[in-house]
Amino acid sequence: MVKLKIVPLIIANFYTSIIAGSIFFSAPAPAVTFALPSVGETVVGRNLIVPAKASETLLDIARRYDVGYSEIKAANPDIDLWLPKEGSLVVVPAQYVLPQAPRRGIVINLAEMRLYYFPEPSSAQPSTVVTHPIGIGREGWSTPLGRTSVISKKKNPAWVPPESIRAEHAADGNPLPKRVPPGPDNPLGKFAMRLGMPGYLIHGTNRPWGVGMRVSHGCIRLYPEDILGLFSQVKVGTPVNIVYQPFKAGIKDGILYLEAHAPLPELENSEQGALTSMVAAIVAITDKPIQDINWELAKRTAADRTGIATRVSEIDDGNSLSRAGRAAGYEYSKAEISYQEILTFKIPSGPIASLF
């Protein structure tokens, strides 16, 4: 059992906050809008640990914290997706390494199924980034890579399915009409933004469970509540950059983090190639000496592909913090946490266990 170094309790607003290494106990849900970090730093947010409630699925937790299906599943491989045990400690991967791309307009990373929006900064406000999970095109209907822009926006759009999609549905015994009017049966949801790539949209959905999955015909779909906010902010002409970065390395407070996501088979086809990509991501972001990087942990992170931003630079801080506390930052969320519960906190199973 790892001994956690406990510092004094602070009680406010009926929540208990404790700092134990890098494990923080709090109740608020994470933000989806973050102030951009200072020059040279590329990590925002903080990972969370939340207890599952009765009668909720991991998908319920994912939507509550604005993460997608693939993110919550990869971070919790040992927890039943549909029937998590009440009180199970669920990892919410809510810390993000920003993609290696210009911080302008919309950046979509297909590997992590996540969108980043960098609003135009104003003189009165700090620069920010907004991030949301997305659903993307399935194999055979892949979402294309490349640069484009938003060319039009439509509230309550009708859907005119292409002949290729109508033919596919007809072959499956589920024929589509030539035009699907706005409403609950419209897969575009209530808002759509057309891209300069012919036939591709960023839109809502009438099936929120598909966010974080490869289920579309190439379009990018968001939770209804996320597209509502994004639609109101994004202007026609906003640049869109669609990238594939399964490995992202970033810096926070001078510490190196690595984030690894499951590959898209059509874009990555060898384990050796994956390791090369991981090393390239790290080398591109840091000038740390090779010996200061924990390459064994980096390789394990690359192999596990949990999507959890993991600290991979060597640390010599001279105190008794646990390896988990040094490897990743977590927050434990619960409306009321007793002191005894904190003292008896157990190391969870799954991807976090290897970090303790």
CA dist., res. 190 & res. 337, Å (int)? 40
Tell me the per-residue pLDDT of 264-287, one tens digit each, with 9 for 90 and over.
Answer: 988 876 566 778 889 999 988 877
Phi-psi region of 70 (alpha: psi -120 to 50; beta: other; left: phi over 0): alpha
Packing angle of the helix pair 295-304, 271-285 (nearest 10 deg): 130
Distance of alpha carbon 127 from alpha carbon 103, whole angstroms: 10
| Domain spans, the chain | 1-100+245-356, 105-243
Q: What is the DSSP string of 338-355?
A: -HHHHHTPPPPSSTTGGG
- The answer for 41, left when phi > 0, alpha when psi is -120 to 50, beta otherwise, is beta
Active-site residue (options: 132, 169, 217, 219): 219
Query: How far, in Å, CA of 299 to CA of 276, rounded?
Result: 10
Cβ atoms within 10 Å of 29's Cβ, excluding its own = 14
Note the pLDDT of residue 35.
92
Catalytic residue among 132, 203, 217, 261: 203
Q: Is 140 exposed, middle or buried (0-12, 13-18, 19+ CB in 10 A)?
A: exposed
* Catalytic residue check, 219: yes
The string of pLDDT tens digits covering residues 152-167 is: 999 999 988 777 787 8
Our answer to whether residue 132 is catalytic in this structure is: no
Task: Tell me the C-alpha distance between 87 and 93, whole Å.
Answer: 18
User: ∠ at Cα 119 (114, 125), nearest 5°?
Assistant: 130
Structure tokens given for 173: 């015994």
Question: What is the length of the chain?
Answer: 356
Which CATH number is correct for 105-243, 3.30.70.2740, 3.40.640.10, 2.40.440.10, 3.40.50.720?
2.40.440.10
Mean pLDDT by 10 residues, the chain (356 residues): 27 23 41 86 94 94 96 95 94 96 96 96 86 90 93 93 78 78 90 95 93 89 96 97 96 93 81 81 80 89 94 56 39 36 39 36
Q: With beta carbons less than 8 A apart as the criterion, state whether 89 and 348 touch.
A: yes
